[in-house]
Amino acid sequence: MHAPRATPSATPRPGRRPPQPGAASLADLVDEAERVASGTDAARALLGVTDLLVARADALSGPQVSAFDEVMTVLAEGAGTASRRQLARRVSGLARPPHKLARRLACDAEASVAVPILAACASLPEVLLLRVARIRGPAHLAAIARRERVAARVADVLADRGDQAVMATLLGNRGAQLSLAALSVLSERMEDRSSLAAGLAARGGLLPSQRAALLRERPAAPPSPSRRAAEAVTLRIRLGLEEADLRLWLANGRTAEALIGLAHLAGCSAGRAEAAHRGAGLRALALLVRAADLRLSTLGAFLRARTGRALTAEAAGEAVPVYRSVTVARARALVAERPGANETAGSRSA
């Protein structure tokens, strides 16, 4: 009499631990995820894994959450924007969201995906929030500005790069740690002076003399790029700003648009990019182009677009070594530092 043959479900896959009681559904979804490539299959599998995670969130152990993390991060890469958006909304409400997945979603270029995580996920590290604040647009910055807690370094970047709505949100957030430097930037940039006054009045720790100084009339601002140029770049940012856009603007004589685009990609203000472009030295411009992760030929296009004296070989020779001497990451770090005088010293020592 022959022994009964084992069923496939009774034989563990080589290299996999036998499933623990109650883990069969997760193991099945892991197996399915390993077969998924992209598109509709990825979206369907991601929906199933997300349902299971949300249903069991309170009872899952750390290793189990990590298992979900690995699977869902892979599936999210192959899913479309709509699926990632739905995923972000559901994961953002969890007390213990999968860490790797949350970081991936927070960095998503699509604002509708990143915003729920940026606004609500308390476990995001400060270094990630800094990176997003330096490279993303107004919607991403607004989400960070309304977090329950905003660290001082992150608030400094938001004050420097945020639009009027972001600045108002930041100032009104009692959980935002605002340094005097950040408050000074807000004082200089905020157009609604009554909102500025109300926000400063609600903040403890300021001396009356400090509050009065922050509310003084602002000095006349330097000329800014035209509204039409700013609107054109804003539209391209929403659609996905690329290096080719900057090259086209430069080729068509639209230097203002190219400089605003450069500032966005490099993580600095448009005024700083303009000053670097028209300055006597070319180190600052080379550093911004490197921080924006643009090609050396694009630096050449910016140099040729400079007005005034004709570009000489000596002048170009000053910019190229700076560009080549720093990595993109180092250039971005230098650009993030203030004041801009650090650029020259940093680029020489890189």
- For the packed helices 313-325 and 296-304, what is the interaxial angle rounded to 10 degrees? 150
User: Quick one: which of 19, 301, 165 has its CA closest to 9?
Assistant: 19
Beta bridge partners of 176: 150
- For the packed helices 270-278 and 255-266, what is the interaxial angle rounded to 10 degrees? 120
User: Quick one: which of 254, 292, 295 has its CA closest to 273?
Assistant: 292
Q: What are phi and psi of 111, to 5 degrees?
A: -60, -35
What is the reported pLDDT for 35?
A: 55
**Residue 86: Cβ within 10 Å count:** 18
Q: What is the DSSP string of 244-277?
A: HHHHHHHHTT-HHHHHHHHHHHHTS-HHHHHHHH
- For the packed helices 40-56 and 24-35, what is the interaxial angle rounded to 10 degrees? 160
Q: Is 340 helix (H, G, I), strand (E, B) or coil?
A: coil
What is the reported pLDDT for 3?
A: 44
Among all chains, which residue has been given the structure tokens 């430069």?
A: 250
Per-residue tens of pLDDT for the chain, all 350 residues: 444 444 333 334 344 343 343 444 555 555 555 555 444 567 777 888 888 888 888 888 888 888 888 888 888 887 888 989 999 999 998 888 999 999 999 999 999 999 999 999 999 999 999 999 988 989 999 999 999 999 999 999 999 889 999 999 999 999 999 988 889 889 888 989 899 999 999 988 888 888 888 888 665 555 455 777 887 888 778 777 889 989 988 987 889 999 999 999 999 988 899 988 888 778 899 999 999 999 999 998 998 888 765 666 666 677 888 899 999 999 998 988 754 444 443 444 33
Cβ-in-10-Å burial (0-12, 13-18, 19+) of 41 comes to middle
Tokens representing residue 72 in the block: 């869902």
SS3 content of the chain, % helix, strand, coil (to 5): 65, 0, 30
Q: Please give the Cα distance from 18 to 21 (Å, whole number).
A: 9
What is the reported pLDDT for 245?
A: 87
Single pTM value for the model: 0.56
Would you list the domain boundaries of the chain? Answer: 24-121, 127-196, 227-349
